[in-house]
Chains A and B, each alone.
Chain A
Amino acid sequence: MWIAYKTIVIKEVRRFIRIWIQTIVPPVITTSLYLLIFGGLMGGRIGQMQGINYIDFIVPGIILMTVIMQSYANTVSSFFMTKYNNSFEELLVSTTPNWIILLGFVSGGMARGFCVGLAVTFTISFFVEIETYSLLIIAATFLLTSIMFALAGFINAVFARTFDDISIIPNFVLLPLTYLGGMFYSIDILPSFWKALSAFNPIYYMMDAFRLGFLGVGSVELWKAFLVPLSMIIILALTANALLNRGVSIKTE
């Protein structure tokens, strides 16, 4: 099983490295633009957020957004393509158990989230001096976030029938939730209604924990910030595994 897992992960990593122009370069360019516009040009006028310079305040959010989008994008596109070109049959006829297939694809998503997140962090370091408050919190938040969104991407791919179906969720759900999860602002500045609504956005908790890891400031208790994604991971993992076991959209009924 370990060999099968390793095989899937190696295949996934090679895949996103092979198409680095599509997977690594665009987020790096987007990040540079975010920092230039929101940090460099507008940041000075905005001043401080939670007692932190605005350009420093948005850095954790930009990195986490990259991790979210890339982890999701890797599993959704890779798994959908295996369905599209029928190469998933290579796994179906093999002895690889479904949970290893899931674990392999999720690990591939995490690897891409990590690699692109690292590339983005490196790019940011040219604009800002990056501080770290707790590497442990940063690592834990990265792990939980990338696992959760890689799983979500996998489930999206299971149900996707066309290429449009794999871009709807990232564009119309993930991106708005990321922006509204406190990427560019502190939830504390919102009116009470919107603040209460933000509590239903899981990205808000991850964003807060990630920012705590970098800057030492946060609005949510740490245990709660970890519990939310952890619960989501359990639900998503069980759902994804059940879908695979039932052969939804991979075995003709």
Chain B
Amino acid sequence: MPLALSTENLAKTYSNNLEALKGINLRVEKGDFFALLGSNGAGKTTAIGIISGLLKSSSGEVEINGLNQKNHSNEVKKMIGLMPQEFNFNPHEPNIEILINQAGYFGIPRKDAKIQADVLLKKMELWDRRFDVAQSLSGGMKRRLMLARALMHKPTILILDEPTAGVDVEIRQSMWQYLTQLNNDGMTIILTTHYLEEAESLCRNIAILNNGELVEQSNMKRLLARAKRQVIIIDTVEKISGPIEISDCDCEVIDENTLQVSQGEGISISDVVASLLDQNIHVSHLRSSQNRLEALFLSLTS
């Protein structure tokens, strides 16, 4: 599969000697939905900043769709749409103007930009607020405005830095749907998020940064398969009177109707439920205590 993005020993040391990136080699395939994860200060935003042209790297190379970023700056910029983490628009400007101006900076005529802005404003459910100034929007609306702005010049790679932070559940779901649709239409999407379930459900490949280093780069399914032990919380119909034992699992009674089970390798949920039934305990409800990706993430970054 051809690469949409590749970095070669990409490093960044800030003037205060902070080593934000220590020579990372990222590989993102064309058409991928790619998660770039890391705890705060891991170097995600720095990496995104360099890839999108906001920051200068200290060393290393970036290639976008096979083009070297330094040698083909304009072509590369046209291919990338960036939705940054922080709001970075003029809050006193009308929303529609923010979109049209962004297209103008990419050399798109005002007439064409207006058509694209109308489409995106409707898509992002901001049409009724198009003439309002940006500062009057809610946090979630501002995020959608930034997503629309990132798409104004029709990029082939979309970089999203915490796109759903502060967005309510309903809008988040619709944003996920829209992003999935964009990805299905062929757009490469690189996502950084603190919502690991978001990354798990949307992304096919994943990279994890820790202290400026790439500690993991893998296929999401393969990575999740490495999560050997899963912890589940079980609500029981009957009251639990004594200690519970399930072979190859660690069990802990939380209260008289709640049990925490750490599944052993090769033990399925059916095995756990069956074992409980043998002990005359019926399961009324069960849930995962920790997202599998979250568990892996913590083990890789701690």
B14 x A92 contact (CB < 8 A)? no
A89 at the interface (CB under 8 A from B): yes
Given the interface pairs A85-B90, A90-B88, the reply to whether A95 lies near B104 with Cβ below 8 Å is no
Q: For chain A, what secondary structure do more than half of its interface residues adopt (helix, strand, loop), or is it mixed? A: helix
B284 at the interface (CB under 8 A from A): no
A195 at the interface (CB under 8 A from B): no
Choose from A85, A87, A95 the contact partner of B106 (Cβ within 8 Å).
A95
In the assembled complex, how far is the CB of residue A253 from the closest CB belonging to chain B, in whole angstroms? 4
Give A7 to B107 CA distance when docked, in angstroms. 9
Q: Between A and B, how many residue pairs show CB distances below 8 Å?
A: 80
A89 and chain B: residue at smallest CB distance: B88
B60 at the interface (CB under 8 A from A): no
A1 at the interface (CB under 8 A from B): yes
On chain A, the number of residues with a Cβ less than 8 Å from chain B's Cβ atoms is 27
Given the interface pairs A3-B108, A7-B101, the reply to whether A251 lies near B54 with Cβ below 8 Å is yes
A18 x B105 contact (CB < 8 A)? no
A7, A247, A253 — which one has the most chain B CB atoms within 10 A of its CB?
A7
B81 and chain A: residue at smallest CB distance: A93
Which residues does chain A contribute within 8 Å of B149, judged by CB atoms? 90
B77 x A252 contact (CB < 8 A)? no
B56 at the interface (CB under 8 A from A): yes
Give A143 to B153 CA distance when docked, in angstroms. 35
B105 x A96 contact (CB < 8 A)? yes
Which residues does chain B contribute within 8 Å of A90, judged by CB atoms? 88-89, 98, 101-102, 105, 149
Choose from B53, B74, B90 the contact partner of A87 (Cβ within 8 Å).
B90
Known: A87-B89, A95-B78. 6 other contacts (CB 8 A): A4-B105, A7-B110, A8-B104, A8-B105, A94-B105, A252-B49
Q: Which residues of A contact B (CB under 8 A)?
A: 1, 3-4, 6-8, 11, 14-15, 18, 81-82, 85-87, 89-96, 247, 251-253
Which 10 pairs between the two chains have the least Cβ-Cβ distance? A7-B104, A94-B105, A86-B88, A253-B15, A95-B74, A87-B90, A89-B88, A96-B105, A3-B107, A95-B77
A-B contact pairs, 16 of them (CB 8 A): A3-B108, A4-B107, A7-B101, A7-B105, A14-B97, A15-B92, A87-B89, A89-B54, A90-B102, A93-B53, A95-B74, A95-B78, A95-B107, A96-B106, A247-B56, A252-B49
Q: Which residues of B contact A (CB under 8 A)?
A: 14-15, 49, 52-56, 74, 77-78, 80, 82, 84, 86-93, 97-98, 100-102, 104-110, 149, 153
